[in-house]
Amino acid sequence: MIWPVDLIIMLLVMVSGIGAIMVRDLLGAAVLFGVYSFLMCLLYAIMGAVDVAFTEASVGAGVSSVFFVAAVFRTSRRTKD
Amino acid sequence: MRFIALITILLMGGLLFYGLPDFPDWGDPASPASTHVSPYYIEHGAADTHAPNIVTAVLADYRGYDTMFETAVIFSAGLACFFLLRTFRQKSAETKLYRHIPTGVTLRIEKGGKTPAGSEEFEPIDSHWVPYDMIINMTCRLIVPFVQLFALYVIAHGHYSPGGGFQGGVIFGAAIILFAISHDLRSVFRRLQEKTAILLSAAGVLIYAGTGVLCLILGGNFLDYSRLAGLLGVDAVMARSHGILIVEIGVGLAVMAVMVMLYYNLSSAGRHDEGL
């Protein structure tokens, strides 16, 4: 583990995670959640859990982003709260 | 309501941080997992199952029972989405759009108008305006077979490199979803119907559980693949390796079909007429 890389990824994980909750545009939230998943995948890969990183990349960053976009497409793009 | 939710989340987060120091450090050699559990798999994994990737050996062989129910969870997620969203009541659209294939001209037919249904030269298109883009269509058509081939490689090569049924199944499903996004739902239904997807997802779980029952019939424990040695014509260790591959194929089938089912239902709001 290289600590500066680790620190930067951790910070980005927090930023994208909080951003995904706070942002009003649900499509933006879906994209930010994809970013969050991909950064988590990087973290797993850094820690040596390559299988988990692979799953996270394919499920979290790949397919679930598509599902979110599809759900936003069929509902509304703005949150109520 | 927001305030209560915030308090709850802060409380749970605080509890998590309170419990965190009791966990062993990352990679701590004195932690229980590193002293009792991991050494056995590291020392015996390859000799027991012929699978150099220990994660696959643990997931599909030593802890195969857990993975079977993971697959069942995926299957029930697909079923839940089906039961929640699927509607069989067709809402006929006010206006219908048809594209004349040779020229690319779009026809807009008002309610009550005569539609060119059944004609070879027209194809129905979604009522949300979808621009016809040859570059996107052709690129995705070109990429999809390679993505599918990679997914099969991930499933089949799970013994030796990261991957396995779950990841391979998701990638295979993603290839079909990519095709659905780049074309439309109708053209993907011509290749993989909803009924086929449901049957495939059930078949995946059945392959997994059936392998376990087969081992039980042949006199072993549930999911003890070494009992398959007689059927497969190999020795007990190699039979465990083949057993892992068989259940990985089951997992891959189930996951692929469920991902496609989820996409069908989500993108068309359960109506399966027109989607993303």
Full residue range of the structural domain in which residue A68 is found: 3-74
Of B26, B162, B174, the CB nearest to A51: B162
Picking from A63, A71, A73, the nearest residue to B170 by CB comes out as A63
pLDDT for res B267:
86
pLDDT above 80 (res B31)? yes
Whether A58 maps to a domain, the answer reads: yes
Query: Picking from A37-46, B22-31, B122-131, B155-164, which range would have the lowest pLDDT averaged per residue?
Result: B122-131
Chain B residue at shortest CA distance from A59 = B170
Among A33-42, B13-22, B126-135, the least confident range: B126-135
CA distance B266 to B276: 9
pLDDT of residue B131: 66
Q: What is the pLDDT of residue B238?
A: 87
Average pLDDT over residues B256-270: 89
Interface touch A67/B263, C-beta < 8 Å: yes
Q: Determine, yes or no, domain membership for A81.
A: no
pLDDT tens digits for range B96-118? 777 787 777 777 777 777 777 66
Residue B254's pLDDT is what? 94
Q: What distance in Å separates residue B194's CA from the closest CA in chain A?
A: 17
Span B150-169, pLDDT tens digits: 999 999 988 888 888 899 99
**What mean pLDDT comes out for the span A57-61?**
90
pLDDT at B34: 83
Residues B182-216: tens digit of each pLDDT: 888 888 888 888 899 999 999 999 999 999 999 98
Residue B226 has pLDDT above 80, yes or no: yes
Residue type, B220: G
Say if A57 falls within a structural domain: yes
- Provide the 3-class DSSP secondary structure of residue A21: helix
3-state secondary structure of B100: strand
Report CA Rg, chain A. Answer: 14
pLDDT of residue B92: 66
Q: Is residue A20 part of a domain?
A: yes
Q: What is the pLDDT of residue A34?
A: 93
CB contact under 8 A, B266 and A67: yes
Burial class (CB in 10 A: 0-12, 13-18, 19+), A80: exposed
How many independent structural domains does chain A possess? 1
Could you tell me the pTM of the whole model?
A: 0.87
Spatial distance between the Cα atoms of B161 and B56, rounded to a whole number of angstroms: 9
- The pLDDT confidence band at residue B130, using thresholds 50, 70 and 90, is low
pLDDT at B275 exceeding the cut of 80: no
| Residue of B55, B173, B174 lying closest to A51 (CB–CB) | B55
Pick the residue of A54, A77, A80 with the most B CBs within 10 A to test the interface with B by mutation: A54
Which pair of tokens denotes residue B6?
């915030």
Within a domain: residue A79?
Answer: no
